[in-house]
Amino acid sequence: MQGHGIIYHCYTYQPEPLPESIEVVTSLPKNLVKLVKGLAVAGVLILTASYLPSAWFALTKGTGEAISRVLVKDVTEPGKPFTVIDKTFQPRFDAKITKEARIKIPTLGVDTAIGEATADNFEQALKKGTWRVSDFGTPADRSTPTILAAHRYGYLVWSNSFRKKNSFYNLPKLKIGDTVEVYWKQRRYIYEVYAQSEGGEINDYSGDLILYTCEALNSSVRIFKYARLLEV
C-alpha cells in the first residue's frame, strides 16, 4: 500500500548582484569583519543542521512514499492476535475539554491534533500531526488498541517548533513510566508507557495505546511505544 500526496520542494537560489561600491565593508576594522564573517558562517551551519533532515526527506526521491508504506504495513497486517479485555472504565466527561481529538506528551512537548483518515488517505492527516489508524480502536472503545502514527522528520515547510509539537521526532526519548494524554470526545485519557521496541512490526497488542514512527529517513526499522490507560 503506497502513500500519496507527498510534496517535494525544490528551491533555486538566485544571488543578488553585488553593489558597485563596497568601501563601507572594506573600511571596517579587520577584527570586526572577521567577527561578522564568523557569525555568518555559524548561522549557515545552524540553519543547515536544523533543516537538513526535513530537506532530505522532501527532496530524496521515493523516501516519503517509503515512510508512508511503513506507517501502514504493520497496522493493516497484524502479526499476532489481539488480547480482548473487558475494559469499562471511562474518564469523566468535561464540557470544558476541547471537542477536537488531540494528543499531548508533556515530556516531549508534543501537543497536536489526531487526524481521522482511511488507509488510502492517511497522508493528509500526517501533514497536520498524528494519524489514528482507522482499522483499530479508539480511546473509548478499547476492544483493540488505539494506534497513533506520525512522521518523524516531516516536511520542508515545517518549522522546528512545529515539528517538535506536531510530529514524533522525539519519540525515541519517551521513557517507560512517562505519561501520554489523549483528548477524545471531551474526555481526557491518561496513559502510562510500560514497554518499547524497535523492529519491523508491532509485537504487543495487549496495551491500550501504541505510538510509532520511523527510526530513520529511509529505514525499515520502526520505534514503538506501548502504553496502558490509567484509572485516574
pLDDT digit string (tens) for 150-175?
A: 998 888 888 999 999 999 999 999 99
Nearest Cα residue to 70 out of 176, 179, 170, 168: 168
> Does the residue 211 lie in any domain?
yes
> Does the residue 51 lie in any domain?
no
For 185-224, the DSSP string reads: TTEEEEEEEEEEEEESS----SSSEEEEEESSTT-S-EEE
pLDDT digit string (tens) for 67-104?
A: 445 445 444 444 444 444 446 899 999 999 999 999 99
> Does the residue 181 lie in any domain?
yes
> Does the residue 113 lie in any domain?
yes
> Does the residue 107 lie in any domain?
yes
> Does the residue 7 lie in any domain?
no
List the chain pLDDT tens, one digit each, 232 residues.
333 333 223 223 333 433 333 343 445 566 665 665 666 666 656 555 554 554 444 444 444 454 445 445 444 444 444 444 446 899 999 999 999 999 999 999 999 999 998 878 888 888 889 999 988 999 999 889 999 999 988 888 889 999 999 999 999 999 999 999 999 999 999 999 999 999 989 999 999 999 999 887 777 889 999 999 999 8
Rounded to two decimals, the pTM is: 0.68
